[in-house]
Amino acid sequence: MKIKTLEEILKKKSSKTEFAILTNLENGDSEIYLPGTSPKGEFSKYADEIENFFKSKKNGVIENSEIFVETYIKPIKVIIVGAVHIAQYLVDFAKNLNFEISIIDPRGYFASEQRFPEIKVINKWPKEAFEEIETNSSTALIALTHDPKIDDPALQYALKNKFYYIGALGSKKTHENRCQRLAEAGFNNDEINSIHGPIGIKLGGKSAPEIALSIIAQLVSQTYKK
């Protein structure tokens, strides 16, 4: 691989672009491929096979050839509501797992850049904040404020937009009250039950990093169930 190709790969990764690396295993030539374009030079006759690898999001050697295809897909977007202590640990875990994190918190003293370097922190109420974030059914929401004023509008938005994972921090009692408010707002039982509350798998820990670990474990397991 050429140093120039490596630099290009890192640039594509940091700009969250989807791409594939094509390598000729015989001569070592490698090339970056963007989905929907025509592969260049020696790779051009494998256009259909490369596109198929991309569609199935798989890596591998094209049958009866010496061409290796490695696909890179966009990181999963995770929106955290509440720039709280647990969120700081979630950011650490998410970095190693390559989730793309955005944090929403209307409270300026929480949502400071100093507390969350290199993370997109939106210092607005959820309703306005969601106007700035592109979301779809591959987006996850983690609500951590346990303040209905802040969490509820975000949970409602996530339910309406069919996020694949929705979790909300709070005790059983807090969650019961939350479910009741959502029912009053017109959400049905299936929708309400799809919220993971109290959030996280049962680990037994109570500290901020332990709770963050239990949340991230649940998020990863739900990612593979989809």
Partner 1 sequence: MKNSFDEKILDEAQDWINANQKVVLATVIQTWGSSPRQVGSRMIVNEKGDFSGSVSGGCVESAVVSECLSLIKDNKPCKKIEFKVSNESAWEVGLACGGEIAVYIEQIH
Cα 69 to its chain centre, rounded Å, is: 24
In the complex, the smallest distance separating the C-beta of residue 65 from partner 1, rounded to whole angstroms, is 12
| Neighbour-count burial for 148-170, b at 16+ CB within 10 Å, e otherwise | eebbbbbbbbbbeeebbbbbbbb
DSSP character at residue 207? S
The interface mask with partner 1, positions 85-104, x = CB under 8 A, is: ------------xx------
Element containing residue 99 per DSSP (H, E): none
Phi and psi at 67, nearest 5°, equal -110, 125
Q: Does 1 bind partner 1 (CB under 8 A)?
A: yes
Query: Binders of partner 1 among 8-47, rule CB under 8 A?
Result: 9-10, 13, 23, 25, 27-28, 30
Q: Which residues contact 85 (CB under 8 A, 6 or more apart)?
A: 208
Query: Binders of partner 1 among 105-134, rule CB under 8 A?
Result: none
Output the six-digit token pair for 36.
Answer: 């929907």
Of 70-78, 150-158, 166-174, 195-203, the window that binds partner 1 (rule: CB under 8 A) is 70-78
Cβ nearer to partner 1, comparing 60 with 205: 60
Of 43-51, 68-76, 103-111, 154-162, the window that binds partner 1 (rule: CB under 8 A) is 68-76
Cβ nearer to partner 1, comparing 29 with 147: 29
d(Cα 176, Cα 226) in Å, to the nearest integer?
26
Binding partner 1 (rule: CB under 8 A), the pick from 37, 59, 136, 171 is 59
Binding partner 1 (rule: CB under 8 A), the pick from 34, 47, 73, 203 is 73
Q: Does 2 bind partner 1 (CB under 8 A)?
A: yes
d(Cα 137, Cα 152) in Å, to the nearest integer?
19
E-strand ranges in 11-152 read 19-24, 30-33, 60-61, 67-72, 77-81, 100-104, 120-122, 139-143
DSSP character at residue 170? S
Binding partner 1 (rule: CB under 8 A), the pick from 35, 42, 65, 70 is 70
In the complex, the smallest distance separating the C-beta of residue 119 from partner 1, rounded to whole angstroms, is 17
Would you tell me which residues interact with partner 1 (CB under 8 A)? 1-3, 6-7, 9-10, 13, 23, 25, 27-28, 30, 57-61, 68, 70, 72-76, 97-98, 138, 164, 220, 223-224, 226
